[in-house]
Amino acid sequence: MRPTVRQVSVAPIAVTGMGCICAAGKNLPDSMEALLRGERHPAPPVRFASDHPVRYPVFEAADFEEPPDLLRTSAFGLHAAREAVVDAGLDRKTLSALRVGVCVGTTVGTVVSEETFCRGYLAGHVPDMTPIRRILRSNPADVIAREFDLSGPRQTVVTACASGTDAVGIAGSWIRAGLCDAAIAGGADELGRITYIGFISLMITDDSPCKPFDRHRKGLNLGEGAAMLVLASERVLRRSGMRARSILLGYGSAADAYHMTAPQPDGVGLRSAISEAMATGGVSPTSVAFVNAHGTGTPDNDRVESRVLHDMLPGIPFLSTKGYTGHTLGAAGAIEAVFTAACLEMGKIPANAGFETPDPEIGITPVREVTAVTGTVALSESLAFGGNNSVVVLGKA
């Protein structure tokens, strides 16, 4: 049964700047070029070791050195925020004259990266407190607010793999409610040994490059990185002279309350989130150019998500970009949101990396090559542990 969401469309929010770092590239232009070239380079992890007999591939952000006083997750977020602020044409003086909020999604990156300290403490040692001071300085939202001396609301969102999408949607609601004039919103997460082993233990990782929506998909590959968007109200856009690269039209979020790690088989939560996002954005299916799907490559996720797309948005092109970045957890929704906005700008989408064999159980197939798209809006979807489902609708500027 398809849920009915009754909601009046809300004011659009301008996306004036975007930044990204992931395995595909150290900034958004480089990442988009890699996607359009079909490049991806999953490999066993380099930054940490594991005694697991299978060396599962991951998508590490190469050649990135975090500062010694920050955790890698927050350094990723700050890197992407700096790019987004420059892309928006902003400087510190302009930012200081506005009420600018910060909303950042993450999952485990700022919690489990100090394993050495924890092992020493549990063994009865008195370890050096420098790692703890680094953790206390590394709240992702606070790091960005400190960097730019921002005075608006700030929040770190932790809703598993929907965190980045939720952060963008929440920041948009702040602006609409008048809580701030603009916001820096997105997600950040790092790879670590505990996360790596944890996902292996769940038996949802692929020992080869991931294959979203493919008949022979076996699971996900983990990744890391961050993406940030600068959001602004229409009033600020007019007053500042900033340009809009994209428009945040709608946002929807709904919980399955079904299982800690598996989506509800009928996809009721995702259906509700899509309906709400499209209703708040005043969007009809006929205007949708494409869907950037969550597409992890796990059997359950791809089956449920594809069935929902088949029912609600039949015939609309879709793809997963996780074949190029891996699953970046709390950063995934934000990275995929900036990819979605960039693809709308270009009028084309990359191929769904890793897809070769259609799955008759799914019944629909993602795009297999770089594909021109028409339409004025696109959806970016996130399905997360805990039954979290979140969707943003982005439009052409």
Q: Return the closest-CA partner of residue 242 out of 356, 344, 98.
A: 98
Task: Locate the domains of the chain by residue range.
Answer: 13-396
Is the distance from CB of 346 to CB of 26 less than 8 angstroms?
no
* pLDDT on residue 263: 87
Question: Is the predicted pLDDT of residue 11 greater than 70, yes or no?
Answer: yes
**Average pLDDT over the chain, rounded to an integer:** 93
DSSP assignment of 203-262 equals: T-B-SSS--TT-TT---B-BB-EEEEEEEE-HHHHHHH-PPPSEEEEEEEEEE--S-SSS
Q: How far apart are CA 39 and CA 76, in angstroms?
A: 21
- Percent of the chain beyond pLDDT 90? 77
* pLDDT on residue 112: 60
For the entire predicted model, the pTM comes to 0.95
Is the distance from CB of 394 to CB of 250 less than 8 angstroms?
no
Question: Is the predicted pLDDT of residue 395 greater than 90, yes or no?
Answer: yes
Question: Is the predicted pLDDT of residue 9 greater than 70, yes or no?
Answer: no
Q: CA torsion sign, 20 to 327 to 263 to 305?
A: positive
* pLDDT on residue 228: 98
Is the distance from CB of 83 to CB of 20 less than 8 angstroms?
yes
* pLDDT on residue 5: 43
Q: Which residue has the higher pLDDT, 108 or 188?
A: 188
User: Residues 298-319: what's their mean pLDDT?
Assistant: 96
* pLDDT on residue 8: 53
Quickly state the pLDDT bin for 1 (edges 50, 70, 90).
very low
Quickly state the pLDDT bin for 2 (edges 50, 70, 90).
very low
Q: How far apart are CA 260 and CA 221, in angstroms?
A: 20
Question: Is the predicted pLDDT of residue 28 greater than 70, yes or no?
Answer: yes
Residue-wise burial string across 328-364, b where 16 or more C-beta atoms lie within 10 A, e elsewhere:
bbbbbbbbbbbbbbbbbeeeebbbbbbbeeebeebeb
- Among all chains, which residue has been given the structure tokens 């965190």? 163
Question: Is the predicted pLDDT of residue 316 greater than 70, yes or no?
Answer: yes
Q: Which residue has the higher pLDDT, 125 or 393?
A: 393
Q: Which residues contact 254 (CB under 8 A, 6 or more apart)?
A: 3, 268, 269, 270, 272, 273, 276, 389
13-396 is classed CATH 3.30.428.10: no
Is the distance from CB of 289 to CB of 377 less than 8 angstroms?
yes
* pLDDT on residue 12: 87
Q: How far apart are CA 397 and CA 368, in angstroms?
A: 27
Give per-residue pLDDT as tens, 66-125. 898 999 999 999 999 999 999 999 998 889 889 999 999 999 876 666 778 888 888 999
* pLDDT on residue 58: 98
* pLDDT on residue 111: 62
* pLDDT on residue 176: 95
Give per-residue pLDDT as tens, 135-163. 889 999 999 999 999 999 999 999 999 99
Residue 92: CB atoms within 10 A of its CB come to 12
Q: How far apart are CA 330 and CA 328, in angstroms?
A: 6
- Least confident span in 123-127, 334-338, 349-353: 123-127
* pLDDT on residue 110: 61
CA 375 remoteness from chain centre: 22
Question: Is the predicted pLDDT of residue 248 greater than 70, yes or no?
Answer: yes
User: Residues 270-277: what's their mean pLDDT?
Assistant: 97
* pLDDT on residue 383: 96
